[in-house]
Amino acid sequence: MQSSRREEPRDQAGEAADEAAEELRRRLAAEAGDIEAMSVLGAMLLRRGDLDGAEPHLRAATAAGDRAAANNLGVLLHQRGYADEAAGWWRIAAVAGSTAAAHALGRHHRERGDEPAAEYWLRQSAEQGHALGAYALADLLEHRGDTDGAERWMRAAAERGHREAAYRLARSLDRRAARVSDGDAVRVLEEAEQWYRQAAARGHRRAALHLGAILEKRGELKEAGRWYLTSAKDGEARAACALGFLLRDAGDTENAAVWWLRAAQDGDGNAANALGALHAERGETQTAERWYRAAMDAGDINGAYNLGLLCADQGRTGPAEQWYRRAAYAGHREAANALAILLLRAGDETGAEPWFSKAAEAGSVDAAFNLGILHAGRSEDDAALRWYERAAAAGHTEAALQVGMARLRDGEEGEAERFLRCAAGGGSAEAAYRLATVLDARRPPEPAHELGEPVNRRSECEEWYERAASQGHRRAQVRVGMLAAARGDVVEAARWYREAAEAGSRNGAFNLGLLLAREGSEPEAVLWWTRAADAGHGRAALRLALVCARRGELAEGQRWADRAAALGPAAVTERATRLRDALREELSA
């Protein structure tokens, strides 16, 4: 039986032996007068860096008319510093049809500032399919502002495997996507992604970074992480930083910190800030401060802003103001807003307002809202509304609420509803409640129902009341309780009344008392009416006065009647006064 022999991978020593044998074979052939052998041997020695050994072989082959040798002789002379002589040999080789020589000659002329000659030779190289020539021609045309021509030749170079061309073409398409319509942008971005992918697959680390960013934005986090890792391992600090954020978002802060550290040590300010924030969260303020300073040293002004936040959290307002100012003067809009807040809290409204304005004009939504508050505090309602509207247009929830309330005061119910919906959708419980009241006011009366017919349908206004109630809005909780009671759902009504009452709502406590009394739990009802009356609820005080009168506790009843008469409203005051007078007569009889 014939045994099979397993092929072992060749080691470096074996490859070196093969190369030496090939060189010897070429050398013997060259000595025998073989022109091709002279050219190949010269190229081998040139690649090795043996210029003295390569030159005679290349000159001999060039003299015999070998165009590859002429090109390589030009390369050799260029490396020796004889650029003009090199250009002469490149010209000879290029005229003879060498695309590599035409490319080299074009580069030579561009370095000399002779762009027409450079374009001529680079075009000769590019049109004959030379990838480097196509790329160099594209670069020259881009420098001149010929974007169409540049893209054409950049695409040609990329299609021939030039990775830098693929990357630059992708970047160009990426920028174009921001200038076209949405439909075209999708198509352009898809093409950009293909070129990023091609360049990244060929080892282009920045292409891998951008490809990772595209995939992360699309939610394909696993593949994004792989490309970030590839780029980071190749030394791209921004990829290491992005990988850190990806790991942090996945809950792996330990490995995130490893990549942030690597990126920060390579000068990435964003990573240094991330490390600072991580240590600040752990209470390691000195380490946090060191990384924030490193971010500043890397040119990231966020470092100064974060130092301001760190000092402010520690109650060190002096240093906080110093760092906020440094960042604000450098154009950091949130630092300007934070500085203004600091000044305002210190009583310096005059100093705060310009910083609020600067931050707002730079696009800080919070600063625009704060300017609204500032003007509202001075009763400058028109100016306040303008800033609220500006913040609301940028999605600020509380600003939208303020605009909605202003529109309600002005009787513009339609506009009010629009802003209240924005604020309520953004999570404002107050906006949800006020929107519900607007919808409630225009709701038609409920139709009559057949006996025994369940009423489970909830109107839109009730849904908004419930959203506000679930966020702890006491008036909304009372209203949801009332609507539940109207449906006959006593358990649900009691639940919402109790939540409101326990949170301090006197109306909730009063209504809960009514519900409990109807259900036969008057002792517990009295407890809630007492809480409501102590908080200033006139009707609750009147109920307590009636309970006391019925129990024969006349003095206590008179006391609560006095309280109810004082609290009102008018109808309660009238009834409470009559009851008090009757109790007084009974006591004096």
365-394 pLDDT, tens digit per residue, is: 999 999 999 999 999 999 999 999 999 999
Distance CA 419, CA 403 (A): 7
- 136: Cβ contacts below 8 Å, ≥ 6 apart: 103, 106, 107, 110, 122, 125, 126
Over range 514-535, report the average pLDDT: 94
Distance CA 345, CA 268 (A): 35
Residues 553 and 583 in one domain: yes
What integer pLDDT is reported at residue 459 of this predicted model? 83
- 141: Cβ contacts below 8 Å, ≥ 6 apart: 119, 149, 150, 153
- 303: Cβ contacts below 8 Å, ≥ 6 apart: 269, 272, 273, 276, 292, 293, 294, 295, 296, 297
Q: Using CA atoms in the order 552, 557, 559, 565, what is the torsion angle rounded to 10 degrees?
A: -160
What integer pLDDT is reported at residue 452 of this predicted model? 40
Residue 433 located in a structural domain: no
Residues 549 and 577 in one domain: yes
Q: Which domain holds residue 552?
A: 541-588
Q: Domain total for the chain?
A: 2
The total number of residues written for the chain in this structure: 589
Residues 528 and 482 in one domain: yes
Residue 581 located in a structural domain: yes
What confidence tens digit (pLDDT) does each residue in 147-206 have? Answer: 999 999 999 999 999 999 999 999 999 999 888 888 889 999 999 999 999 999 999 999
pTM of the model: 0.73
Q: What is the DSSP letter of 1?
A: -
Tokens 């001999």 locate to 60
What integer pLDDT is reported at residue 453 of this predicted model? 46
Over range 26-51, report the average pLDDT: 92
Q: Using CA atoms in the order 217, 223, 228, 234, what is the torsion angle rounded to 10 degrees?
A: -150
Q: Which residue has the higher pLDDT, 409 or 588?
A: 409
Question: What is Dmax (Cα atoms) for the chain?
Answer: 148
For 80, the token pair is: 């020796």
**H helix or E strand, kind and range, residue 202:** none
| Contact predicate 531/553, CB 8 Å | no
> Is 60 exceeded by the pLDDT of residue 280?
yes
For 246, the token pair is: 């990806």
Residues 517 and 483 in one domain: yes
Report which of 460, 458, 451, 514 is spatially closest to residue 484, judged by C-alpha positions. Answer: 458
- Distance, first Cα to last Cα, the chain: 133
Distance CA 392, CA 553 (A): 57
Residue 4 located in a structural domain: no
Q: Which residue has the higher pLDDT, 351 or 448?
A: 351
> Is 60 exceeded by the pLDDT of residue 2?
no
> Is 60 exceeded by the pLDDT of residue 224?
yes
What confidence tens digit (pLDDT) does each residue in 547-561 have? Answer: 999 999 999 999 999
Distance CA 562, CA 548 (A): 13
Residue 573 located in a structural domain: yes
What confidence tens digit (pLDDT) does each residue in 409-462 have? Answer: 999 999 999 999 999 999 999 999 999 999 998 876 665 444 344 455 678 899
> Is 90 exceeded by the pLDDT of residue 535?
yes
What integer pLDDT is reported at residue 449 of this predicted model? 43
Q: Which residue has the higher pLDDT, 40 or 459?
A: 40
What integer pLDDT is reported at residue 445 of this predicted model? 63
Quickly count: other Cβ atoms within 10 Å of residue 142's Cβ.
Answer: 17
Residues 486 and 523 in one domain: yes
| Contact predicate 148/155, CB 8 Å | no
| Contact predicate 66/38, CB 8 Å | yes
> Is 90 exceeded by the pLDDT of residue 492?
yes
What integer pLDDT is reported at residue 16 of this predicted model? 72
* pLDDT tier, 487 (very low <50, low <70, confident <90, very high otherwise): confident
The answer for 236, left when phi > 0, alpha when psi is -120 to 50, beta otherwise, is beta
Report which of 493, 538, 542 is spatially closest to residue 518, judged by C-alpha positions. Answer: 493
Q: Could you give phi then psi for residue 491, rounded to 5 degrees? A: -65, -45
Residues 524 and 479 in one domain: yes
Residue 523 located in a structural domain: yes
Buried b (16+ CB within 10 A) or exposed e, 13-24: eeeeeeeeeeee
| C-beta contacts of 498-503 below 8 A and 24+ residues apart | 499/469, 500/474, 500/475, 501/528, 501/531, 501/532, 503/472, 503/474, 503/477
Q: 58, exposed or middle or buried, with CB in 10 Å at 0-12, 13-18, 19+?
A: buried
Report which of 117, 115, 85 is spatially closest to residue 102, judged by C-alpha positions. Answer: 117
For 416, the token pair is: 């009010």
What integer pLDDT is reported at residue 585 of this predicted model? 85
Distance CA 417, CA 433 (A): 12
> Is 70 exceeded by the pLDDT of residue 12?
no
What integer pLDDT is reported at residue 409 of this predicted model? 94
Q: What is the DSSP letter of 180?
A: S
Over range 215-233, report the average pLDDT: 97
Among 494, 516, 535, the domain boundary falls at 535
What integer pLDDT is reported at residue 182 of this predicted model? 82
Residue 489 located in a structural domain: yes
Residue 506 located in a structural domain: yes
- 339: Cβ contacts below 8 Å, ≥ 6 apart: 308, 321, 324, 325, 328, 352, 355
Among 495, 516, 535, the domain boundary falls at 535
Q: What is the CB-side half-sphere exposure of residue 362 using CA atoms within 13 A? A: 19
Residues 531 and 548 in one domain: no
Distance CA 126, CA 120 (A): 10
Distance CA 233, CA 495 (A): 59
Tokens 């906006």 locate to 431
Residues 522 and 571 in one domain: no
Q: What CATH number is given to the structural domain containing 526? A: 1.25.40.10
| Contact predicate 387/373, CB 8 Å | no
Residues 484 and 526 in one domain: yes
Report which of 92, 74, 94 is spatially closest to residue 84, judged by C-alpha positions. Answer: 74
What confidence tens digit (pLDDT) does each residue in 93-103 have? Answer: 999 999 999 99
Residue 545 located in a structural domain: yes
Residues 477 and 521 in one domain: yes
What confidence tens digit (pLDDT) does each residue in 496-509 have? Answer: 999 999 999 999 99
What integer pLDDT is reported at residue 454 of this predicted model? 46
| C-beta contacts of 551-559 below 8 A and 24+ residues apart | 554/583, 554/586, 554/587, 555/587, 557/583, 558/583, 558/584, 558/587
What integer pLDDT is reported at residue 180 of this predicted model? 84
Buried b (16+ CB within 10 A) or exposed e, 359-375: bbeeebbbbbbbbbbbb
For 374, the token pair is: 């500032």
Distance CA 283, CA 270 (A): 20
Distance CA 99, CA 93 (A): 8
What integer pLDDT is reported at residue 451 of this predicted model? 36
Any idea which of 84-93, 341-350, 442-451 has the lowest mean pLDDT? Answer: 442-451
> Is 50 exceeded by the pLDDT of residue 327?
yes
Residues 507 and 553 in one domain: no
For 547, the token pair is: 């309970």
Question: What is the chain's mean pLDDT, rounded?
Answer: 92
- 551: Cβ contacts below 8 Å, ≥ 6 apart: none
Report which of 460, 402, 392, 411 is spatially closest to residue 430, judged by C-alpha positions. Answer: 402
